[in-house]
């Protein structure tokens, strides 16, 4: 996967992971992929819902050593 | 304009006192449609916080001018952010401290009756999740029934009353919430009682609840009579307290009856459920006050926020007690079951002591409504 940018949102509590993701996303072009690292468990459902509501595509997500990783393609 | 924190307790009191409230729930749509704050005078709308990051001007138009506005989210972070944004636009607003997490955990103690010789019975209303637990008090001793995992609440309450927790009982092996029974018994030196048929192979020691083997508290004895009443689980046991109150566990509720499927045996247990409700309970005094382990809808709350009704009333009005045809009853309780509670299998295993979870994991497992009943 071609990742354009990686956002470290580890240690941040809701709503910051989404706030930061939104900002980072604004700097990307349509079709580019943002990789997000977060530790807040709520980020899982919120990122999925946020992506859908913003017209982006949550391509993949996984959990590695308590870090949640997401790949979102800008719509 | 100002932002005021509102505690789960304050919100509970407002709902019980039927104050008008407008809730702006900023969780995502799935979470809201699964489970939300309700009340007779509560109006709520759902707009996820991430749809408000660019501004709240549009939302302000939707807020009522004459009703207090409370912003709610999962843990409070997003609700504070949105409340701040609303205040900047000139809106007076409060937010729910601790969010739905705190809402799910709040227990409101309400006295539901007097017993012989100055004894008392308290109902702990877990308003966010619909769970009910009980403390029976006589002189300087107490018994606790169906305690939740918020163990400090009961221990502190007993300390404030100056009573010692002598018995800790669970009516059955719970599948919708995590029991605090064993932990409280260990902390207070009380005896933990469980129905043996629900506790096969548990790794901890307990006293078996058996019909005919009465428990007592206080010198003059408030008796707690176990009554075998299978159907929700095979071991389900009710208690008759002081010959006045029927603690019905998850067998009979005010506006519904228990579901027989949470241990995967709906077909097997439906006969037991019918036998318990239509024969065993039928034979009891209609004047007994039924105190269930759950409520499902806010309409079930009495004016003081407690949940109870006489057994006679329930035989008249509770639909689940008025299905004459056995086949129809069987269909009703096996064919159209509501979705099962979140993580119910794991919760059962945890309550049996077969798995261990830390407190954050326990909190996650309990998220959502309880869904133990069939209406």
B275 and B353 co-located in one domain: yes
Give tens-digit pLDDT for B322-349: 999 999 999 888 887 777 777 888 999 9
Mean pLDDT of chain B: 92
- Cα B78 to Cα B52: distance, rounded to the nearest angstrom: 10
What was the pLDDT predicted at B27?
96
Give tens-digit pLDDT for B200-248: 889 999 999 998 888 989 865 667 888 888 888 889 999 999 999 999 9
B76 and B127 co-located in one domain: no
| Closest alpha carbon to B270 in B257, B254, B283, B256 | B257
Q: Count the domains in chain B.
A: 2
Q: Which residues contact B312 (CB under 8 A, 6 or more apart)?
A: B286, B287
B160 and B84 co-located in one domain: no
Query: For residue A37, what is the domain's CATH number?
Result: 3.30.110.40
Q: Which residues contact B102 (CB under 8 A, 6 or more apart)?
A: B7, B8, B76, B96
Query: For residue B362, what is the domain's CATH number?
Result: 3.60.15.10
* Average pLDDT for B270-289: 94
Residue B250 is classified by DSSP as T
What was the pLDDT predicted at B220?
58
B25 and B124 co-located in one domain: no
Asked if A59 and A8 count as a contact pair (C-beta separation under 8 A), the reply is no
**A67 interfaces chain B, CB cutoff of 8 Å:** no
B121: helix, strand or coil: strand
- Shortest CA distance from A40: residue in chain B: B75
Domain final residue, candidates B86, B103, B120: B103
A to B CB pairs, distance under 8 Å: 42
Query: For residue B73, what is the domain's CATH number?
Result: 3.40.250.10
Q: Which residues contact B3 (CB under 8 A, 6 or more apart)?
A: B80, B83, B84, B86, B87, B93, B94, B95
Query: Is residue A14 flagged as an active site residue?
Result: yes
B95 and B122 co-located in one domain: no
Asked if B180 and B150 count as a contact pair (C-beta separation under 8 A), the reply is yes
Give tens-digit pLDDT for B8-20: 999 999 999 999 9
**Interface touch A18/B75, C-beta < 8 Å:** no
Is the pLDDT at B120 greater than 80, yes or no? Answer: yes
Domain final residue, candidates B103, B121, B143: B103
**A14 interfaces chain B, CB cutoff of 8 Å:** yes
Domain final residue, candidates B78, B103, B128: B103
Min distance B124 CA to chain A CA atoms (Å): 29
| Closest alpha carbon to B233 in B192, B194, B191 | B194
Q: Count the domains in chain A.
A: 1
Task: Residue B46: give the domain boundaries.
Answer: 3-103
B201 and B283 co-located in one domain: yes
Contacts of B55 in chain A (CB under 8 A): none
- Cα B144 to Cα B279: distance, rounded to the nearest angstrom: 27
For residue B70, report the phi and psi dihedrals to the nearest 5 degrees. -120, 125
- Shortest CA distance from B81: residue in chain A: A15
B81 and B190 co-located in one domain: no
Asked if B129 and B369 count as a contact pair (C-beta separation under 8 A), the reply is yes
B129 and B84 co-located in one domain: no
Task: Residue A14: give the domain boundaries.
Answer: 3-73
- ipTM value of the model? 0.92
Query: From first to last of its 75 residues, what are the pLDDT tens digits of chain A?
Result: 789 999 999 999 999 999 999 999 999 999 999 999 999 988 999 999 999 999 999 999 999 999 999 999 999
Asked if B259 and B337 count as a contact pair (C-beta separation under 8 A), the reply is yes
Model-level pTM? 0.92
B83 and B175 co-located in one domain: no
């Amino acid at each position: 996967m071609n990742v354009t940018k990686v956002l470290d949102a580890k240690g941040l509590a809701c709503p910051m992971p989404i706030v930061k993701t939104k900002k980072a996303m604004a700097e990307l072009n349509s079709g580019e992929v943002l990789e997000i690292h977060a530790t807040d468990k709520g980020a899982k459902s919120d990122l999925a819902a946020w992506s859908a509501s913003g017209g982006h595509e949550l391509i993949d997500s996984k959990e590695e050593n308590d870090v949640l990783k997401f790949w979102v393609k800008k719509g | 304009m100002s932002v005021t924190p509102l505690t789960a307790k304050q919100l509970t009191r407002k709902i019980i006192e039927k104050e008008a409230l407008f809730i702006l729930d900023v969780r995502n749509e799935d979470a809201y449609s699964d489970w939300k704050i309700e009340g007779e005078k509560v109006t709520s709308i759902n707009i996820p916080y991430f749809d408000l990051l660019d501004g709240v001007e549009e939302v302000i138009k939707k807020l009522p001018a004459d009703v207090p506005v409370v912003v709610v989210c999962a843990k409070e972070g997003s609700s504070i952010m949105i409340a701040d944004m609303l205040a900047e636009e000139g809106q007076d607003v409060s937010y729910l401290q601790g969010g739905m997490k705190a809402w799910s955990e709040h227990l409101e103690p309400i006295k539901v009756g007097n017993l012989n010789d100055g004894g008392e019975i308290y109902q702990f209303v877990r308003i966010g999740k619909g769970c009910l637990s009980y403390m029976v008090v006589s002189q300087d001793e107490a018994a606790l029934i169906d305690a939740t995992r918020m163990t400090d609440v009961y221990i502190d309450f007993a300390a404030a009353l100056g009573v010692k927790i002598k018995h800790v009982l669970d009516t059955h092996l719970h599948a919708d919430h995590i029991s605090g029974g064993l932990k409280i018994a260990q902390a207070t030196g009380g005896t933990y009682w469980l129905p043996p048929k629900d506790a096969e192979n548990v790794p901890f020691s307990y006293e078996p609840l058996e019909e005919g083997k009465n428990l007592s508290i206080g010198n003059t004895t408030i008796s707690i009579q176990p009554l075998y009443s299978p159907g929700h689980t095979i071991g389900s046991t009710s208690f008759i307290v002081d010959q006045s109150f029927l603690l019905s566990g998850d067998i009979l509720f005010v506006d519904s009856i228990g579901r027989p499927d949470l241990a995967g045996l709906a077909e097997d247990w439906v006969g037991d459920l019918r036998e318990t409700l239509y024969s065993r309970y039928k034979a009891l005094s209609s004047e007994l006050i039924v105190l269930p382990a759950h409520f499902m809808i806010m309409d079930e709350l009495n004016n003081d926020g407690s949940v109870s009704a006489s057994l006679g009333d329930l035989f008249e009005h509770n639909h689940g007690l008025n299905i004459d045809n056995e086949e129809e009853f069987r269909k009703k309780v096996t064919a159209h079951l509501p979705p099962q509670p979140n993580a119910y299998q794991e919760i059962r295993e945890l309550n049996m002591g077969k798995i261990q979870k830390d407190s954050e994991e326990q909190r996650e497992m309990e998220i959502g409504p309880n869904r133990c009943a069939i209406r």
